[in-house]
């Protein structure tokens, strides 16, 4: 009995939560207005009441929509998405697929234009081909790969310069060592010759 009561309470709370007005938005009946609130894709409410018929998300800072965000809106009649800086990379695939499922008469796609990447700027998201979107997914990977190659080249160049410097230092050290050894040998030989001359002179004097 307690378990059944707890289950009913959970369902009641979930129902209340699903029908509550999202934080930061204003609600009037089945209309949910989240427009002009500077919402970003990460700060956007995670869900909307299931009975929403008019959802306004225009004039925010949305670059993409989280996957599944609009899937529970089975009663909606209009959604406004214009005035957002949509980034047409992999993150826009959900929005594109959702727009393609909507009747053209609802005009949900109007004003939903790409702001980046540069080659897709101004294009309507709904009219992008899947190949175009997938190609745009990789453009920053190319930049990253190029930057990695440049860093690798610089690293190899620095290593080569250090290696050349070490080789030159070793050769200079070897040359200095040879010169020091030759100087020592010459000094020793000169000393030996000088002692020999002194000995000869003393011997001759004694005779």
Residues 35-47 have pLDDT tens digits of 999 999 999 998 8
* Cα dihedral value 88, 93, 96, 102, nearest 10: -160
Evaluate if pTM is beyond 0.85: no
Is residue 62 classed as helix, strand or coil in its secondary structure?
Answer: coil
Structure tokens at 193: 């010759």
Question: What is the distance in angstroms between the CA of the first residue and the CA of the last residue of the chain?
Answer: 138
The C-alpha atoms of residue 167 and residue 86 are separated, in whole angstroms, by: 56
d(CA 39, CA 24): 9
Q: How far apart are CA 157 and CA 152, in angstroms?
A: 8
Say which residues have a Cβ less than 8 Å from residue 45's Cβ, sequence separation at least 6. Answer: 22, 23, 24, 25, 34, 39
Answer for the pair 82, 58: CB distance below 8 angstroms, yes or no: yes
pLDDT of residue 185: 74
DSSP summary character for residue 124: B
On average, the pLDDT of the chain sits at: 80
Secondary structure of residue 61 in the 3-state scheme = strand
pLDDT tens-digit profile of 179-201?
A: 878 877 777 776 666 666 666 66
């Amino acid at each position: 009995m307690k378990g059944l009561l707890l289950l009913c309470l959970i369902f009641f709370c979930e129902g209340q939560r699903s029908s509550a007005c999202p934080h930061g938005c204003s609600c009037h009946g089945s209309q949910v207005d989240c427009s002009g609130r500077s919402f970003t894709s990460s700060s956007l409410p995670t869900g909307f009441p299931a009975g929403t018929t008019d959802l306004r998300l225009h004039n925010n800072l949305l670059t993409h929509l989280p996957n599944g965000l609009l899937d529970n809106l089975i009663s909606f009649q209009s959604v406004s998405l214009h005035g957002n800086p949509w980034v047409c990379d992999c993150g826009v695939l959900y929005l594109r697929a959702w727009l393609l499922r909507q009747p053209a008469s609802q005009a949900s796609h109007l004003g939903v234009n790409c702001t980046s990447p540069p080659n897709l700027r101004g294009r309507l998201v709904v009219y992008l081909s899947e190949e175009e979107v997938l190609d745009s997914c990789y453009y920053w990977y190319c930049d990253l790969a190029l930057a990695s190659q440049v860093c690798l080249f610089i690293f190899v160049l620095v290593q080569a310069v250090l290696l050349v410097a070490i080789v030159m230092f070793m050769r200079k050290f070897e040359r200095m060592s040879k010169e020091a050894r030759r100087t020592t040998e010459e000094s020793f030989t000169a000393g030996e010759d000088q002692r020999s001359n002194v000995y000869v002179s003393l011997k001759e004097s004694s005779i």
